[in-house]
Amino acid sequence: MKIGFIGLGNMGAPMAANLAKAGHSVTGFDMADVAVDGVRLAASAAEAAKGQDVVITMLPNGAILRAVALDVLPAMDRGAALVDCSTVDVESARAVAAEAEAAGLLFVDAPVSGGVGGATAGTLTFMAGGTEAGFAKASPLFEIMGQKAVHCGAAGAGQAAKICNNMILGVTMIATCEAFALADKLGLERQKMFDVVSTSSGYSWSMNAYCPAPGVGPQSPADNGYQPGFAANLMLKDLRLSQQAAEAADADTPLGQAAMALYEQFVEHENGSGQDFSAMLPRFEGRGRG
Protein backbone atom coordinates (compact mmCIF):
# COMPACT_ATOMS: atom_id res chain seq x y z
CA MET A 1 0.00 0.00 0.00
CA LYS A 2 1.04 3.61 -0.51
CA ILE A 3 0.77 5.38 2.85
CA GLY A 4 1.11 8.97 3.96
CA PHE A 5 1.92 9.43 7.65
CA ILE A 6 1.51 12.88 9.21
CA GLY A 7 2.81 13.39 12.74
CA LEU A 8 6.09 11.56 13.36
CA GLY A 9 6.48 12.15 17.09
CA ASN A 10 7.02 9.65 19.92
CA MET A 11 4.07 7.55 18.77
CA GLY A 12 3.88 8.25 15.05
CA ALA A 13 7.54 7.59 14.23
CA PRO A 14 7.64 3.95 15.42
CA MET A 15 4.20 3.28 13.90
CA ALA A 16 5.37 4.58 10.51
CA ALA A 17 8.64 2.63 10.80
CA ASN A 18 6.71 -0.61 11.41
CA LEU A 19 4.61 -0.01 8.29
CA ALA A 20 7.74 0.60 6.22
CA LYS A 21 9.42 -2.48 7.70
CA ALA A 22 6.39 -4.53 6.62
CA GLY A 23 7.01 -3.51 3.00
CA HIS A 24 4.60 -0.61 2.53
CA SER A 25 5.67 2.59 0.77
CA VAL A 26 5.51 5.27 3.48
CA THR A 27 5.85 9.03 2.94
CA GLY A 28 5.89 11.09 6.13
CA PHE A 29 5.62 14.67 7.30
CA ASP A 30 6.22 16.35 10.63
CA MET A 31 6.65 19.97 11.65
CA ALA A 32 9.90 19.00 13.40
CA ASP A 33 13.05 17.85 11.65
CA VAL A 34 12.86 14.07 12.04
CA ALA A 35 14.27 10.94 10.44
CA VAL A 36 12.40 7.62 10.48
CA ASP A 37 13.81 4.34 9.16
CA GLY A 38 12.29 3.45 5.81
CA VAL A 39 10.12 6.57 5.60
CA ARG A 40 10.58 9.15 2.84
CA LEU A 41 9.96 12.67 4.13
CA ALA A 42 7.78 15.18 2.26
CA ALA A 43 7.96 18.96 2.41
CA SER A 44 4.33 19.37 3.48
CA ALA A 45 1.32 17.44 4.78
CA ALA A 46 -0.43 17.84 1.42
CA GLU A 47 2.59 16.41 -0.42
CA ALA A 48 2.70 13.43 1.98
CA ALA A 49 -1.01 12.78 1.31
CA LYS A 50 -0.99 13.14 -2.48
CA GLY A 51 -1.69 9.90 -4.38
CA GLN A 52 -1.70 7.69 -1.29
CA ASP A 53 -4.08 4.79 -0.61
CA VAL A 54 -4.24 5.63 3.10
CA VAL A 55 -3.18 8.73 5.03
CA ILE A 56 -2.58 8.25 8.76
CA THR A 57 -2.46 11.15 11.21
CA MET A 58 -1.08 11.13 14.77
CA LEU A 59 -1.60 14.65 16.10
CA PRO A 60 -1.81 16.46 19.46
CA ASN A 61 -5.42 17.68 19.46
CA GLY A 62 -8.65 18.23 17.56
CA ALA A 63 -7.86 21.76 16.41
CA ILE A 64 -4.66 20.56 14.73
CA LEU A 65 -6.51 17.60 13.19
CA ARG A 66 -9.09 19.97 11.67
CA ALA A 67 -6.32 22.22 10.30
CA VAL A 68 -4.38 19.30 8.82
CA ALA A 69 -7.58 17.91 7.27
CA LEU A 70 -8.07 21.18 5.40
CA ASP A 71 -4.63 20.66 3.83
CA VAL A 72 -4.71 16.94 3.10
CA LEU A 73 -8.31 16.17 2.05
CA PRO A 74 -8.07 18.16 -1.23
CA ALA A 75 -4.76 16.42 -2.03
CA MET A 76 -6.14 12.89 -1.60
CA ASP A 77 -7.56 10.70 -4.37
CA ARG A 78 -11.26 9.76 -4.21
CA GLY A 79 -11.70 6.41 -2.47
CA ALA A 80 -8.58 6.84 -0.33
CA ALA A 81 -8.86 6.68 3.48
CA LEU A 82 -7.87 9.17 6.16
CA VAL A 83 -7.15 7.26 9.37
CA ASP A 84 -6.73 9.48 12.42
CA CYS A 85 -4.93 7.75 15.29
CA SER A 86 -4.82 10.86 17.48
CA THR A 87 -6.84 11.15 20.68
CA VAL A 88 -9.13 14.13 20.07
CA ASP A 89 -12.61 15.34 20.97
CA VAL A 90 -15.53 13.44 19.48
CA GLU A 91 -16.89 16.51 17.68
CA SER A 92 -13.61 17.10 15.80
CA ALA A 93 -13.56 13.46 14.69
CA ARG A 94 -17.14 13.69 13.43
CA ALA A 95 -16.52 17.03 11.69
CA VAL A 96 -13.50 15.70 9.78
CA ALA A 97 -15.43 12.52 8.94
CA ALA A 98 -18.18 14.64 7.33
CA GLU A 99 -15.62 16.64 5.35
CA ALA A 100 -13.95 13.44 4.15
CA GLU A 101 -17.26 11.89 3.11
CA ALA A 102 -18.19 15.06 1.16
CA ALA A 103 -14.88 14.77 -0.70
CA GLY A 104 -15.50 11.13 -1.65
CA LEU A 105 -13.02 9.81 0.90
CA LEU A 106 -13.18 7.23 3.68
CA PHE A 107 -12.49 8.29 7.27
CA VAL A 108 -11.65 6.25 10.37
CA ASP A 109 -11.05 7.67 13.84
CA ALA A 110 -8.77 5.12 15.49
CA PRO A 111 -7.17 6.30 18.74
CA VAL A 112 -4.76 3.86 20.33
CA SER A 113 -3.92 2.31 23.66
CA GLY A 114 -0.49 0.93 24.48
CA GLY A 115 1.82 3.93 24.65
CA VAL A 116 5.24 4.36 23.08
CA GLY A 117 6.22 0.80 24.03
CA GLY A 118 3.21 -0.58 22.17
CA ALA A 119 3.88 1.66 19.17
CA THR A 120 7.48 0.41 18.96
CA ALA A 121 6.60 -3.26 19.48
CA GLY A 122 3.58 -3.14 17.15
CA THR A 123 1.22 -4.21 19.94
CA LEU A 124 -1.19 -1.26 20.08
CA THR A 125 -4.95 -1.60 20.47
CA PHE A 126 -7.00 0.47 18.00
CA MET A 127 -10.50 1.69 18.88
CA ALA A 128 -12.03 2.52 15.51
CA GLY A 129 -15.04 4.53 14.41
CA GLY A 130 -16.28 4.96 10.84
CA THR A 131 -17.85 2.97 8.05
CA GLU A 132 -17.33 -0.75 7.44
CA ALA A 133 -15.52 0.12 4.20
CA GLY A 134 -13.13 2.47 5.99
CA PHE A 135 -12.41 -0.05 8.72
CA ALA A 136 -11.81 -2.80 6.14
CA LYS A 137 -9.31 -0.62 4.27
CA ALA A 138 -7.40 0.27 7.45
CA SER A 139 -7.49 -3.20 9.05
CA PRO A 140 -4.37 -4.64 7.36
CA LEU A 141 -2.40 -1.67 8.68
CA PHE A 142 -3.83 -2.05 12.17
CA GLU A 143 -2.58 -5.65 12.11
CA ILE A 144 0.97 -4.41 11.49
CA MET A 145 0.93 -1.57 14.01
CA GLY A 146 -1.05 -3.37 16.71
CA GLN A 147 -2.34 -6.60 18.15
CA LYS A 148 -6.05 -5.74 18.26
CA ALA A 149 -8.50 -3.44 16.48
CA VAL A 150 -12.15 -3.08 17.51
CA HIS A 151 -14.68 -1.43 15.20
CA CYS A 152 -16.72 0.49 17.77
CA GLY A 153 -19.32 2.03 15.46
CA ALA A 154 -19.87 5.13 13.36
CA ALA A 155 -17.53 8.11 13.13
CA GLY A 156 -16.52 9.34 16.58
CA ALA A 157 -17.15 5.98 18.27
CA GLY A 158 -13.43 5.22 18.46
CA GLN A 159 -12.81 8.48 20.31
CA ALA A 160 -15.78 7.80 22.59
CA ALA A 161 -14.38 4.38 23.51
CA LYS A 162 -10.91 5.80 24.20
CA ILE A 163 -12.27 8.65 26.33
CA CYS A 164 -14.50 6.34 28.40
CA ASN A 165 -11.70 3.80 28.88
CA ASN A 166 -9.25 6.42 30.07
CA MET A 167 -11.77 8.01 32.40
CA ILE A 168 -12.04 4.61 34.11
CA LEU A 169 -8.24 4.36 34.15
CA GLY A 170 -7.78 7.79 35.74
CA VAL A 171 -10.38 7.12 38.42
CA THR A 172 -9.06 3.64 39.28
CA MET A 173 -5.44 4.82 39.45
CA ILE A 174 -6.39 7.56 41.91
CA ALA A 175 -8.35 5.05 44.02
CA THR A 176 -5.42 2.61 43.96
CA CYS A 177 -2.95 5.29 45.04
CA GLU A 178 -5.27 6.53 47.79
CA ALA A 179 -5.64 2.98 49.09
CA PHE A 180 -1.87 2.36 49.20
CA ALA A 181 -1.34 5.66 51.05
CA LEU A 182 -4.07 4.69 53.54
CA ALA A 183 -2.57 1.20 53.95
CA ASP A 184 0.81 2.78 54.75
CA LYS A 185 -0.73 4.88 57.52
CA LEU A 186 -2.59 1.87 58.90
CA GLY A 187 0.66 -0.10 59.09
CA LEU A 188 -0.27 -2.58 56.35
CA GLU A 189 2.71 -3.73 54.27
CA ARG A 190 2.40 -2.84 50.60
CA GLN A 191 3.18 -6.38 49.43
CA LYS A 192 0.44 -7.79 51.68
CA MET A 193 -1.95 -5.13 50.38
CA PHE A 194 -1.12 -6.14 46.79
CA ASP A 195 -1.44 -9.87 47.57
CA VAL A 196 -4.95 -9.35 48.92
CA VAL A 197 -6.34 -6.75 46.51
CA SER A 198 -4.86 -8.26 43.33
CA THR A 199 -6.80 -11.46 44.00
CA SER A 200 -9.91 -9.92 45.57
CA SER A 201 -12.80 -7.70 44.54
CA GLY A 202 -10.61 -4.57 44.45
CA TYR A 203 -8.42 -5.87 41.62
CA SER A 204 -8.01 -3.69 38.53
CA TRP A 205 -5.55 -3.04 35.72
CA SER A 206 -4.12 -0.16 37.77
CA MET A 207 -3.35 -2.55 40.63
CA ASN A 208 -2.56 -5.82 38.87
CA ALA A 209 -0.71 -4.72 35.72
CA TYR A 210 0.55 -1.20 36.51
CA CYS A 211 0.96 -1.15 40.27
CA PRO A 212 1.91 2.37 41.46
CA ALA A 213 3.95 1.06 44.41
CA PRO A 214 7.66 0.45 43.66
CA GLY A 215 8.83 -3.12 44.11
CA VAL A 216 5.31 -4.52 44.22
CA GLY A 217 3.67 -6.50 41.41
CA PRO A 218 4.98 -6.58 37.83
CA GLN A 219 7.55 -4.04 36.59
CA SER A 220 5.94 -0.64 36.10
CA PRO A 221 7.03 3.02 35.88
CA ALA A 222 6.97 3.10 39.70
CA ASP A 223 10.09 0.92 39.55
CA ASN A 224 11.81 3.50 37.32
CA GLY A 225 11.35 6.64 39.39
CA TYR A 226 7.93 7.24 37.79
CA GLN A 227 9.46 8.00 34.41
CA PRO A 228 6.43 8.12 32.13
CA GLY A 229 4.95 5.07 30.53
CA PHE A 230 1.79 7.17 30.29
CA ALA A 231 2.43 10.74 31.39
CA ALA A 232 0.20 12.51 33.89
CA ASN A 233 -0.07 15.34 31.35
CA LEU A 234 -1.66 12.94 28.85
CA MET A 235 -4.04 11.56 31.46
CA LEU A 236 -5.11 15.12 32.19
CA LYS A 237 -5.70 15.70 28.46
CA ASP A 238 -7.90 12.59 28.23
CA LEU A 239 -9.85 13.41 31.40
CA ARG A 240 -10.54 16.89 30.03
CA LEU A 241 -11.81 15.29 26.82
CA SER A 242 -14.06 13.01 28.88
CA GLN A 243 -15.59 15.96 30.70
CA GLN A 244 -15.99 17.95 27.48
CA ALA A 245 -17.85 14.97 26.02
CA ALA A 246 -19.90 14.51 29.20
CA GLU A 247 -20.98 18.14 29.12
CA ALA A 248 -21.98 17.90 25.46
CA ALA A 249 -23.93 14.67 26.12
CA ASP A 250 -25.48 15.91 29.40
CA ALA A 251 -23.92 12.95 31.27
CA ASP A 252 -23.37 13.01 35.03
CA THR A 253 -19.75 11.93 35.66
CA PRO A 254 -18.80 13.14 39.17
CA LEU A 255 -15.84 10.78 39.60
CA GLY A 256 -14.49 11.64 36.15
CA GLN A 257 -14.80 15.30 37.07
CA ALA A 258 -13.05 14.76 40.40
CA ALA A 259 -10.23 12.81 38.71
CA MET A 260 -9.76 15.63 36.22
CA ALA A 261 -9.53 18.17 39.04
CA LEU A 262 -6.95 16.08 40.91
CA TYR A 263 -4.76 15.61 37.83
CA GLU A 264 -5.07 19.34 37.08
CA GLN A 265 -3.80 20.10 40.58
CA PHE A 266 -1.02 17.50 40.26
CA VAL A 267 0.19 18.54 36.80
CA GLU A 268 -0.32 22.30 36.86
CA HIS A 269 0.28 23.25 40.49
CA GLU A 270 2.44 20.48 41.96
CA ASN A 271 5.28 18.38 40.52
CA GLY A 272 3.28 16.01 38.32
CA SER A 273 4.25 17.43 34.93
CA GLY A 274 6.63 15.02 33.22
CA GLN A 275 5.92 12.19 35.65
CA ASP A 276 3.95 9.01 35.07
CA PHE A 277 0.26 9.21 35.94
CA SER A 278 0.86 6.62 38.69
CA ALA A 279 3.07 9.14 40.53
CA MET A 280 -0.15 10.09 42.29
CA LEU A 281 1.00 7.59 44.96
CA PRO A 282 3.93 9.65 46.33
CA ARG A 283 1.62 12.68 46.09
CA PHE A 284 -0.91 11.06 48.43
CA GLU A 285 1.83 9.61 50.68
CA GLY A 286 2.99 13.12 51.55
CA ARG A 287 -0.43 14.51 52.36
CA GLY A 288 -2.64 14.41 55.41
CA ARG A 289 -6.40 14.47 55.75
CA GLY A 290 -6.60 18.26 55.54
How many Cα atoms occupy the beta-carbon half-sphere of 257 within 13 Å?
A: 8
Indicate if 21 belongs to the active site. Answer: no
Task: Give the chain's largest Cα–Cα span.
Answer: 65
State the catalytic residue, choosing from 21, 137, 148, 162.
Answer: 162
Do 181 and 281 form a contact (C-beta atoms < 8 A)? yes
Radius of gyration, alpha carbons of the chain: 20
To 10 degrees, the CA torsion angle through 91, 94, 100, 102? -100
Q: Can you point out the beta strands (E) in 132-249?
A: 146-153
How many Cα atoms occupy the beta-carbon half-sphere of 60 within 13 Å?
A: 6
- Which of 92, 79, 102 minimizes the C-alpha distance to 129? 92
3-state secondary structure of 226: coil
Residues noted as catalytic: 162
